[in-house]
Structure 1
Amino acid sequence: MTDTPDWSDRDGADAPRPALPVRRGGAPVSPQTAAVFGRPTGVDGSFGTRPEAAPQPQIAAPDPVLAEAFGRPAGGSGGLQRDPYAQYGRDRQEPAPADPWRDPASAAHLDGPALTEEAPEQPTEAGPKLGVRELLFGGRVHWWALVSLGIVALLVGVGGGLIGRWTAEAIPPLNSHSVSLNVDDSAAASSDIAKVAKAVAPTVVVIEVRTAGGGGSGSGFVVDKLGYIVTNNHVISLAANDKNAKLEVVFDDHKRVPARIAGRDVKTDLAVLKVDGVENLTVSTLGDSSKLEIGQPVIAFGAPLGLDRTVTTGIVSAVDRPVPLRPDAVSDTDAVINAIQTDAAINPGNSGGPLVDAAGRVVGVNTAIAATGGGSIGLGFAIPIDEAKPITERLIADGKVTHPQIGVSAATVRNDKVFGARVKDIASGSPAARAGLKENDVITSFDGRPIEGADELTVAVRMSKIDEEVKYTYWRDGRTFDGKITPVSD
C-alpha cells in the first residue's frame, strides 16, 4: 500500500502541492484516428495554420434516413427546431377559404342574387272538344287514319268473340243452376255396434252430485226394476260424506230423479244407488267376464266430461291387471281392482258406466284410466262383472260387504333372487301367524295365482273365500316352501 503524502502544514494552512508524475500508456493510436484528431503535418504547436497541401479527412455522406430525421428541413431558417405541424416531403398548400367574401385577398366579382324566384307556370286552356261529326266530316283526321282505326276495331271485336267462344267451350262454368244432389233415402243397414248402442243406452244413467263446495258427475247402469243402479264408490263419495249433498240420477230420456245410497264398498270401489217411483225401467243384461279373451271387441258407455249418451269402442287389451286406487280429496276409495284393460276411450265421467261385449251384455264396470295429461291414452280399466255381481248383491241385501284377509301387510320385492310380496308385518293371532309365516318371507303364489307384487297379493286374497283353506308358496332364506292358509273375515 502506498503512503499518501501529507501536503498540509501543522497549523492547517495549505502547502504548495508538487506536480504528480504523468504516466502514459494504453493501446497505440491508429493512423486513422491520428489523421482525424492529430496535428496536421508540419504543425508543432497547439495553434497554427493548417498547410494548404495537408490532406483532409474524408467523411462519408450520412444515411438518407438519418439525414431526413435529424437534418435541417429544406428552406428552413437554419435552426434545429422543427415545426411540429410540418409535413415534410409534401408541398404545403394553404386551404382556399370556403367563403370568398371572408377572404381579404379575394378579387371582386359578381355573384347571383340572394334569392331566386321561379316564375309560375301559366295554366293552359283546354281547346275545343273534338266530336264525332268533326272527327268524321270535319277534316281534322285523315281518311286513311279513320279506315285503319275501323279495321283495328273490327279485328279486336272478332278476336275477342273467338276467344270468348273458345274459353266457354274449353273451361266449364264455376256455378250452375242445373245441379241437384242425389240422396238415398232408403233405410241404411244398421251395424252391430249401432244395434248394441240402441239396446244398451236406456239402461245407462248419469249420476250428479252437488255440494255447497262443488260437485261431480259419473255414470251408472240399472240392474233391477226396483230401481237399483250400480256405479263406482268414488263417484258418490262426496254425497256419502256430506249429508247436505244432493244426489240425482238422469235417465236416457232426460228424466231427473233423486237417488239414495243403498250401500258402498271402499275396498272394491263399488256402490249401489236406489231410485223410487220410476216405472218401466230397462234393466242391463249381465255377461260372464271370465270368458273374455284378449282382442275381443268391447263397447264403453257413459258420460265422459259430462257428455251423456257417449259410446266408444275398442278391444280387451289385457285381463287380471291389478290396479291400485288410492284415497284423494274427493274419494275415500282405497282398493286394488283385478281389472279388465281396454283401449276403448274412457275419460273422467265414464266411471261407473257399463263395459259391454258385442252382444250387449255387461262384462265390466268402467272405473279408472292411465293418463299422462288427464285424458284417455288407450289404457282404461274396468272391474270384472264376475267380481262386481256378488258384491252388488250383498250391498243390495245388507248395505255392506265383508272381505277375506290373512292379517299381513306386504311390499313388492323384485331382485335377482325372487319376485313377490315380502311380508312386513304379521298381526298377532291372524291366519298368517297360525300358518307359520314370518317377517321377510316372500309370498310367490296364492290360491294358484302367481304373485309378483303386493297389489297382486291383495287381489288374490280378496278373491278367495272366507273360512276356506287355500294353498300358497313362499320363499325364505333362498328356499321355497309350500303352505296352507285359511282367510278370515275382515
Structure 2
Amino acid sequence: MLLLWAVLMSLAGAGAGAGFSTDDETNNIQVFKEASPSVVYVTNETVVRDPRSFDLHTVPRGSGTGFVWNDGGYIVTNFHVIEGARQITITLQDRSSWKAKVMGIAPEKDLAVLHIEAPAATLQPLALGDSSALTVGNKVLAIGNPFGLDTTLTVGVVSALGREIQAPNNRKIRNVIQTDAAINPGNSGGPLLNSEAKLIGVNTAIFSPSGASVGIGFAIPVDTVKKIVPQLIAHGRLVRPILGIELAPEQWARRNGIKGVPIMRVTRGLPAQKAGLRGIRRNAWGAAELGDIIIGVDTHVVETYDDLLTALERYKPGDRVSVSFVRDGDIDKRALTLAAP
C-alpha cells in the first residue's frame, strides 16, 4: 500500500509540474515561436592559399546572426559579421542554405544588408516595433546563434537608453539600447524583440573583459535601422547630404586645440560656397589664415568631425538648415540647402 501511495503521489507531482506555467513564461514561448522562423545563421568564409600546394581553399572566418527583412530575400545583420568575407552563406530555419550577395553596408552604423534567392514562401519577415517608445525596465528577448549554438533565446530588460558604442570604422553609434539579456559572440546581427515579438533593436556588441556575456549588451535601435536599411537596399550605402566642403585634417585640428570643425576649402557651386562660408586662405603677406569653424547645425552642437556627420545624417538632400560657425573669433550663422552627394 505504501509503495502504491508513493507511486500515485509521484505521478500527481509530475502532472502538477508539467502543467505549471506563468504568464511571463507563456509570453516567452509565444515570442520565440513567432520570431524564431525569421532568424538566420550567417557564415562568413574567406579564401586562403595552401602554402605547400598553392591551391585555394574556402575556410570559415566567423559566424553570426541575421534576420529576414522582407520576403524579397533581404537579410539584415551587422557589418562586422560579414566584414572581409569572400563568401557568405545564410542558413534558414528550415535548414536550407543560400549563398548571399552583399547589397549594402553602413560601417558607421555597423549594419549590412544581404540578399538571397530563396522562395518568398520560405521567408518570414520580422514585424517592426518602435524603439522611441522604450523605457528602462521594458522586457526584451534576444534570439541568436551564440558560439554557433543556433536559435538560442535569452530574456532580460532594457537596462539603459541613449548609450554610445564605437562602430567598426571608429565612428560613434549613438542612442544605443543597453540590455542585460545575455548576448555572446555569435549573437551579433540578431534581433532584440519586445513582448509582442516585434523588432526593437539589432544586437551588436557586448561589454565584457572575458569575451562572454556579463549582463551588458548593446543593440542598435530599430528606428535607426528603419532609416538605414532602405538606403542600403536602394543605394548600397548610407546617403548623407553634403555641405560642399573639404575639412582640415582632424589630427591637425585636435593638435591645435580647435573646438569645432575647421573648413579647409569650399567647393564652387555647392551649398557652403553659395552661403558664403570660407575655407583656409592666404593673406596679403602669403600666410595661411584659418577659415570658418563649424560649431553647429540647427540645434545640434558640433565639436568633432563625428558630430558633424551625425548631424547631417538626420537630414536629406534638399533640407534647409542653419549652420553656425566661428569666423575671426566671432560666431555667425548662415542658412543653406543641403545637396545630394
Q: Give your verdict on TM over 0.5.
A: yes
Change (3 A) 1:256 1:347: same
**Cα offset for 1:221?**
0.8
Structure 1 ranges of 4+ moved more than 6 A: none
1:449-476 C-alpha deviation (Å, 9 max, x unpaired): 3345432322111221113121233345
Structure number with greater Rg is 1
User: Which residue is 2:314 aligned to?
Assistant: 463
Which amino acid in 2 is paired with 1:459? T
TM normalised by structure 1 equals: 0.53
Match of 1:264 among 87, 105, 129: 105
**Cα offset for 1:335?**
4.6
User: Which residue is 1:133 aligned to?
Assistant: none
| Inter-partner Cα distance in structure 1 for 2:217 and 2:272 | 34
User: Which residue is 1:355 aligned to?
Assistant: 192
The answer to whether the 8 A contact 1:322-1:337 is kept is yes
Q: How does 1:356-375 map to 2 (within 5 A)?
A: 356-375=193-212
1:263-282 C-alpha deviation (Å, 9 max, x unpaired): 33344432222222443422
User: Which residue is 2:299 aligned to?
Assistant: 448
User: Which residue is 1:403 aligned to?
Assistant: 240
| Inter-partner Cα distance in structure 1 for 2:128 and 2:310 | 22
| Inter-partner Cα distance in structure 2 for 1:447 and 1:378 | 37
| Inter-partner Cα distance in structure 2 for 1:420 and 1:371 | 33
Q: How does 1:218-297 map to 2 (within 5 A)?
A: 218-239=64-85, 242=86, 245=87, 247-278=88-119, 279-297=121-139
**Cα offset for 1:349?**
1.8
- Determine helix, strand or coil for the equivalent of 1:299: strand
Change (3 A) 1:377 1:230: same
Q: How does 1:138-149 map to 2 (within 5 A)?
A: none
The answer to whether the 8 A contact 2:74-2:115 is kept is yes
The answer to whether the 8 A contact 2:40-2:90 is kept is yes
| Inter-partner Cα distance in structure 2 for 1:409 and 1:478 | 19
* Structure 2 spans left out of the alignment, 5+ residues: 49-59, 280-289
| Inter-partner Cα distance in structure 1 for 2:339 and 2:46 | 38
The answer to whether the 8 A contact 2:112-2:232 is kept is yes
Change (3 A) 1:479 1:238: same
Q: How does 1:76-155 map to 2 (within 5 A)?
A: none
User: Which residue is 1:386 aligned to?
Assistant: 223
User: Which residue is 2:19 aligned to?
Assistant: 186
RMSD of Structure 2 on Structure 1 (CA): 3.3
**Cα offset for 1:352?**
1.4
1:379-438 C-alpha deviation (Å, 9 max, x unpaired): 433333233224322333454543223335475999xxx995332644544544544255
* Structure 1 spans left out of the alignment, 5+ residues: 1-176, 328-333
Matched, 1:209 2:44: yes
Which amino acid in 1 is paired with 2:221? P
Structure with higher RCO (Cα < 8 A, 6+ apart):
2
TM normalised by structure 2 equals: 0.73
Matched, 1:422 2:268: no
Change (3 A) 1:397 1:441: closer
1:245-298 C-alpha deviation (Å, 9 max, x unpaired): 3x2112234333332323333444322222224434221001223333344333
The answer to whether the 8 A contact 2:165-2:176 is kept is no
| Inter-partner Cα distance in structure 1 for 2:233 and 2:96 | 24
Number of equivalences:
299
